[in-house]
Amino acid sequence: MEAYWAAADVRDWSAFAETLADDVVYDLPQTRERIRGSERYVRFNQEYPGDWHVRVERIVADAEGRQAAARTEFTAPGEEPEEMDAIHFFTFDERGRITGVTDFWPEAYEPPVGREHLVERY
């Protein structure tokens, strides 16, 4: 999970992809979106707009290394810098690759236009 966050923060998409199982599922309950597969999930992050950065505040994992949760702070610089806290739940396969990510952001919102080609709505 630490490698996942480090790669995301510096936009090292090859290293980011290496942390994921091929069949990873990413869920965003607030926008009712789901992304299936590592290729689509990496692309979703590559195409995400802005110069955002993430700081991991805390990681908690089970003893078997199959589930974990993280609390992060995202910042997006600009004229009016934006800071958001989020909570993330992860599941892992037997090789330690991420099989599932569920992100919870502070408020519900409608997804931005332009990522329909990567997500399914539920």
- Side-chain half-sphere exposure of 35, counting CA atoms within 13 A: 24
H helix or E strand, kind and range, residue 53? strand 53-61
pLDDT digits (tens, 9 = 90+) for 37-48: 999 999 999 998
pTM of the predicted structure, to 2 decimals:
0.85
pLDDT digits (tens, 9 = 90+) for 90-120: 999 999 999 999 999 877 667 778 888 888 8
Full set of structural domains in the chain with CATH: 2-121 (3.10.450.50)
CB 46 within 8 A of CB 38: no
Residue 32 phi/psi, 5° resolution? 55, 45
